[in-house]
Amino acid sequence: MQKRAVVSVVGKDQVGIIAKVTNVLADNQINVLDISQTILQDFFTMMMLVEVKDGEDIDALHHHFEAIENELGLTINIQLEDVFQSMHRI
Amino acid sequence: MSLAFDEIQETIRMVQMESLDIRTVTMGINLRDCADSDFEKVKKNVYDKITSYAAQLKPVAEQVEKEYGIPIINKRIAITPIAEILGKATVDQAVELAQTLDQAAIKLGVDFIGGYSALVHKGISKGDQTLLDALPKALSVTERVCASISIATTRTGINMDAVKQMGTIIKQTAEFTKENSSIGCAKLVVFCNPVEDNPFMAGAFHGAGEGEAVLSVGVSGPGVVLHALKRYPDADLGEVSDIIKKTAFKITRAGELLGRVVADRLDVPFGIMDLSLAPTNAMNDSVAEILEEIGLERVGTHGTIAALALMNDAVKKGGAMASSYVGGLSGAFIPVSEDNGMIRGIEDNALSLAKLEAMTCVCSVGLDMIALTGGVTPETLSAIIADEAAIGMINKKTTAVRVIPVIGKTEGDTVEFGGLLGRAPVMGVNPYSSEKMIKRGGRIPAPLQALIN
């Protein structure tokens, strides 16, 4: 079943963050639905809405993101979208 | 409807910076069908039932935690009060059964198993007495088994014979575990008006009105509430209440969603959502600090009860709007050893045992995780329990006593319990005796439900 998840990326701004993160998504056949991004006091913050198939996808992505997290000093999270919907929408 | 950037950020901030977590998912399991005239069979039935029903609890909870990105700190099990299936068992057999429960918990990798319990608020049956006699030993030879005893309710009054026994049992448990800071007592809670669906330890058990198996959730989040309040330093108290309400709403929604997903995957019904704010020793994850943020220099000073009443009520209002099934204890917990702000209050002489008692009038649950001087007598412990039970009985609310007389320590010392249980300054008790009252025994009759001023 298709589900939507939110990928959030936070870290010091530098060249190639978006490229590297989206590359991982592309390699794993993950479709991106929406991206928004901002820079706050030198800190890069990006939120992406993506389509995942099930829990396994999320597990695998966690694993794939680890390498970029270490290389670029970023914090990358991926969470199913439902949790945001239930907290912020009635 | 699509999500706004700052809404996503708020959730992520709550989890990563403000210690938002699901404190516990607790699976309740009915053990009544495990009773048998052959005690070996009882042990086997109990072990097999728990380990098969809850086999997937830990893996499923961990998977859900990963997918939704919100930590689930504890995975726990609540069972039918064990006294009800003891039958003709001996005290030694009751201790063996506690060990069986401990083994089941270790096998499943759950943190605690609660329900080594007896409900004796009116009278003590044979099985109840066996369990009471087994308690000190059972708590000293097991690691993850939690016990609770109901000694009073608003409808039955206070069973002072049971209260008298509990003083001795707590003291004995302390003696039996004195090598480990009398830690056995941290797993034993004495209740007035206990609830049947509480997911929090040490007082969880699977009550008589519950089904075969059920999954309940306890959320946490004092840190989130504290940070929310810090953003509005000049709000008046009506607005403070509103901020707490809105925050509790969001926390509860997240908790209920995760709870329902876990319940669904385990194929058991979703029970209740417990809205309690449960502190931890993590920085800024303290209920006392919320009270201080509202405007007290130290928790325990004048105004503490008013601030606590406001907070407790606001949490309930926000939570009740957010969840379809609210239950359990649902309020603010004020355990001393698990809350850095409370510890500091005592160390700075702002917070006394008497004030802690008064605080329990307006919040769940009671005197919780308080280290007492090792020299306290069983009669004084019983009298402390009786006072707390009277507060609960008259105010028609749950109250509880989980105190730890730390053998070998006196007032002013500090004791380390380790892990989630934290550390606590040892408190003194009133030096005058309550022995004569406790020795009288009998029952304190149930109170009037009218003429309530």
Cis status, amide bond into B202, omega within 30 of 0: yes
Q: Do A33 and A41 meet the contact criterion of CB atoms below 8 Å apart?
A: no
End-to-end, the C-alpha distance of chain A in Å comes to 24
Nearest-5° Cα angle at B250, B58 to B339? 70
φ/ψ (deg, to 5) at B181: 55, 35
Cis status, amide bond into B426, omega within 30 of 0: no
For residue B4, which residues of chain A lie inside 8 Å, CB to CB?
88
Task: Flag whether pLDDT at B383 surpasses 60.
Answer: yes
Least confident of B51-65, B161-175, B367-381, B409-423: B409-423
Classify residue B444 by its DSSP letter: E
Q: B111, B277, B280, B274: which is closest to B198 by C-alpha? A: B274
Average pLDDT, stretch B369-387? 96
pLDDT at B330: 80
The rounded mean pLDDT for chain B is 92
Q: Do B167 and B381 meet the contact criterion of CB atoms below 8 Å apart?
A: yes
pLDDT at B63: 92
pLDDT in tens, B242-293: 999 999 999 999 899 999 999 999 999 999 998 888 888 877 889 999 999 9
Query: SS3 of B213, please?
Result: strand
pLDDT at B120: 96
Averaging pLDDT over each range in A62-66, B2-6, B386-390, which range is the top one? B386-390
Q: Is the dihedral of CA A88, B2, B3, B4 positive or negative?
A: negative
Tell me the percentage of chain B whose pLDDT exceeds 90. Answer: 77
pLDDT at B348: 95
Distance CA(B186)–CA(B184), nearest Å, equals 5
Average pLDDT, stretch B412-432? 90
Beta bridge mates, A46: A9, A37
Q: What confidence tier does B312 reach under pLDDT thresholds 50, 70, 90?
A: very high
pLDDT in tens, B9-23: 888 888 877 878 898
| Chain A contact residues (CB < 8 Å to B) | 6, 8, 10, 34, 36, 38, 45, 47, 49, 55, 58-59, 62, 75, 77-89
pLDDT at B349: 94
pLDDT in tens, B213-225: 999 999 888 889 9
Q: What is the ipTM of this complex?
A: 0.82
For residue A78, which residues of chain B lie inside 8 Å, CB to CB?
69
Crossing angle of helices B237-266 and B304-322, in 10° steps, is 40
pLDDT at B221: 83
pLDDT at B99: 97
**Closest chain A C-alpha to B2 CA, distance in angstroms:** 9
Contact B8 A6 (CB under 8 A): yes
For residue A76, which residues of chain B lie inside 8 Å, CB to CB?
none
Contact B250 A8 (CB under 8 A): no
Tell me the percentage of chain B whose pLDDT exceeds 70. Answer: 100
Q: Where are the domains of chain A?
A: 3-88
pLDDT in tens, A45-88: 899 999 988 767 788 888 889 988 898 888 898 989 888 888 88
Q: B449, B287, B263: which is closest to B368 by C-alpha? A: B287
Distance CA(A31)–CA(A17), nearest Å, equals 18
pLDDT in tens, B430-445: 999 999 999 999 999 9
**Closest chain A C-alpha to B426 CA, distance in angstroms:** 40
Q: Which helix (H) or strand (E) holds B143?
A: none
CA distances from B159 to A42, A78, B151, B192 (A): 65, 53, 6, 10
Distance CA(A37)–CA(B292), nearest Å, equals 37
Task: Flag whether pLDDT at B182 surpasses 60.
Answer: yes
Fold of A3-88: Alpha-Beta Plaits (3.30.70)
Compare CB distances from A79 to B10, B69, B253 and report the shortest one's residue: B69
For residue A55, which residues of chain B lie inside 8 Å, CB to CB?
63, 66-67
Residues 6+ apart with CB under 8 A from B446: B153, B154, B155, B156, B157, B393
Q: Do A84 and B8 meet the contact criterion of CB atoms below 8 Å apart?
A: yes
Residues 6+ apart with CB under 8 A from B354: none
Contact B1 A89 (CB under 8 A): yes
**Lookup: tokens for B291:** 């009270």
Contact B69 A86 (CB under 8 A): no
Interface mutation target, options B10, B64, B68, B250, chain A, most CBs of A under 10 Å: B68
Compare CB distances from B63 to A49, A55, A79 and report the shortest one's residue: A55
pLDDT in tens, B401-413: 999 999 999 999 9
Distance CA(B310)–CA(B315), nearest Å, equals 9
Place of tokens 């020793």: B281
pLDDT at B247: 92
Half-sphere exposure for B322 (CA within 13 Å, toward CB):
29
pLDDT in tens, A3-54: 899 999 988 888 889 999 999 999 988 999 999 888 877 788 899 999 988 7
Task: Flag whether pLDDT at B197 surpasses 70.
Answer: yes
**Lookup: tokens for B74:** 């504890």
φ/ψ bin of B330: left (φ > 0), alpha (ψ from -120 to 50), beta (otherwise): left
Contact A83 B68 (CB under 8 A): yes
Task: Flag whether pLDDT at A1 surpasses 80.
Answer: no
Q: Where are the domains of chain B?
A: 1-445
pLDDT in tens, B110-120: 999 999 999 99
Query: SS3 of B256, please?
Result: helix
Q: Do A79 and B69 meet the contact criterion of CB atoms below 8 Å apart?
A: yes
Interface mutation target, options A49, A69, A86, chain B, most CBs of B under 10 Å: A86
Q: Which residues of B217-248 are buried (b: 16+ CB within 10 A; e: fewer)?
A: bbbbbbbbbbbbbeeeeeeeeeebbbbbbbbb
pLDDT at B165: 97
Q: What confidence tier does B149 reach under pLDDT thresholds 50, 70, 90?
A: very high
pLDDT at B279: 87
Task: Flag whether pLDDT at B43 surpasses 60.
Answer: yes
- Domain B1-445: top CATH class: alpha beta
